[in-house]
Each structure stands twice: as structure tokens, then as C-alpha cells.
Amino acid sequence: MELFSANLLEADSYDTPFKGCSAVFHAATPMGYGGANNPRQVYDGAINGTKSVLKSAKKVGTVKRFIYTSSFSAIHHPMKSGYIFTEKDWASDNRENDPNWNVDRIDQDGDMAYSMAKVDCEHIVYEFAEKSNQFDAISACPLTVLGPLLSRLHEREGSWQWWLGRMLAGETCERQWKALWNIIDVRDVGEAQALMIESNVCKNGWRYQLSATDESGEIDVLQLQAHLKKLFPKIDVGGPPEEIHQIIEKYGAVYQAPIARCDQAREELGLKTHAIEDTLYETGKTMIDLGLVEPALK
């Protein structure tokens, strides 16, 4: 392994690191967690950074495969409860009369800016790769990524793991409590992307939805709380707001979305996934070990 210093938003910054490489992982993008970047910086940074990395990949002339880390945000679009999303879906689908999907709102809406940036970047990498005729571009579209953290830097305020940590601290989980957490292990995301590099099946423009293996990974916050109570029996685990019981009483369940499975990655790439219990335990354990959360001990 060799380490290099580079800047995503600096032209030609990756010329030296990419020299002699046959594959490139492009996983970096400006994020808005904790107010680190405003919506415009999230969008512009993603677009300009991706173009910069692509140019360096083309310039060195040895890259054969370009793996772009997109997001389920590039897939998800408004659909009825229970709809099953696949790689054929795009976040731009069914948006003709949707006021929430508009370039004029990039400066005001961070979620939309991120989602739109991922859609646009996917199209950019596929078109660039096709025109260059030097490498294939394949996208990974992860959903709720949990699993072991390797350092304190792997937590950002408002992230999925941050909210799981709040639950271990005995606090109320305010994220996605009206719908489902659709969980994939970070180790599975990494393994899938490595398999994309090595696969003889992938072609330019292919994308892989990295989401739950089956319904065991599609859980509401009450089910998440039950898992954590079983995995961490000495901790007084927090749960969703009390209003969730009114929703369940009225509708029978929380909003059944997003429903999405990583079937294509398992079938075409041979991806083997971790059990949900393992993912949740390793998330909580490493957060506690790294001092990112003070557990609410009973």
C-alpha cells in the first residue's frame, strides 16, 4: 500500500496516485452531516470532484475499471408503501410535477441536493467512460450502511450510526422512525465494490443496489430497539417517539419503505452478506469502544 496526499476539488490532484493503476474506487464526496457543507457545496463538490477524478483516471491511461460510490438516494423516488425498488429505478423518476425535485431548490434542500448530485454523477461517469473508451464505470448504491467503525472519524452527527449511538445512550431515535431502516453492513459494501473490480460480468453503466439481504434487514425503530436490547442486555436502549404506536394502531405498521434487496449483487457478483444481528452488534460495540457514546447502563 502506498499513501498519497490529494484534494478532491483540485484539478490534476490524482494524476500521481493513479499512475499505473488498473482500477479506481471513487468513494469521496462532500457531505452535509453536522453542517459540514451547505447544500450547494454538497452538489457542486460532488459534480466537480467526480469530473476531476475522471480526468485523472483517463490521463494515466492504465485504468480499466472505475467504481463510483453512488447512493440509494440516486434510486429512491416517491412510491406507495410496499413498493420494491431495484437498480432500474432512478431518483429522477416520476418527478415531472414534483416541486421537491428542482435545480432551483439546490441551495435550500440538502437532501435533494445530495440525491440529485448522485443521479447526475452516475450519468457523468457512464458517459465519460463510454466516450473515453478506456475503462468501464460501475456504480454502487448503498442504503443504510452500518457495521464496525474503524476510527472516531467514521461517525458524523446525524448519520445512521450516530442515531444508533443515541439509542445506546438511552435517547429517543428521531431518524426514519415513521418508516423502515433498510440495513447493509459496511463490510458488505466494501466487499461488493472489490467484487465489481474483479468481475467479468460487469459492463459500463451497470449499477448495484447495496441494501438489505431480505426482510430481516428491513426493520422499524421498534424492531431495531428490540435487537439492541437483546444484543446489549446491560444497556437501557432508547426507542422511537411514542407517536409510533399511534401510527401502528391506525395503519397496522409504519410506512413500508424503502423495500430494496441486494439480490443482483448476490447473484451476479457472488456477494455473501452479514447477518443483521452481527451488523448491529459490531456497530454498537465499536462505537462504545471508541468512546463515541456513553451507554445508558441499567
Each residue's pLDDT tens digit, 255-284: 999 999 999 999 999 999 999 999 999 999
Model confidence band, residue 97 (pLDDT cutoffs 50, 70, 90): confident
Q: What is the pLDDT of residue 155?
A: 87
The string of pLDDT tens digits covering residues 124-183 is: 999 999 999 999 999 999 999 999 999 998 888 889 999 999 999 999 999 999 999 999
- Determine the pLDDT at residue 234: 98
Percentage of residues of the chain with pLDDT beyond 90: 85
Distances 178 to 135, 166, 232, 241, 244 between C-alpha atoms, Å: 42, 17, 24, 9, 7
The percentage of the chain sitting over the pLDDT mark of 70, rounded to a whole number, equals 100
The model's pTM is: 0.94
Band (31; pLDDT cuts 50, 70, 90): confident
Domains, the chain, in order of start with CATH, read: 18-289 (3.40.50.720)
Contacts of 297 by beta carbon, 8 Å cutoff, 6+ apart: 234, 235, 236
Task: Fill in the DSSP letter of residue 261.
Answer: B
pLDDT top residue among 94 and 90? 90
Confidence band, pLDDT 50/70/90 cuts, at residue 30: confident
Cell numbers at 243, concatenated: 407517536
Whether 209 has a pLDDT exceeding 80, the answer reads yes
Q: What distance, in Å, lies between the first and last C-alpha atoms of the chain? A: 45
Please provide the average confidence, as pLDDT, over all residues in the chain: 95
C-alpha to C-alpha distance for 191 and 199, rounded to whole angstroms: 12
Please report which confidence band the pLDDT of residue 9 belongs to, taking 50, 70 and 90 as the band edges. confident
| CA 274/CA 262 separation, integer angstroms | 12
Q: Name the region of 144 (left: φ>0; alpha: ψ -120 to 50; beta: rest).
A: beta
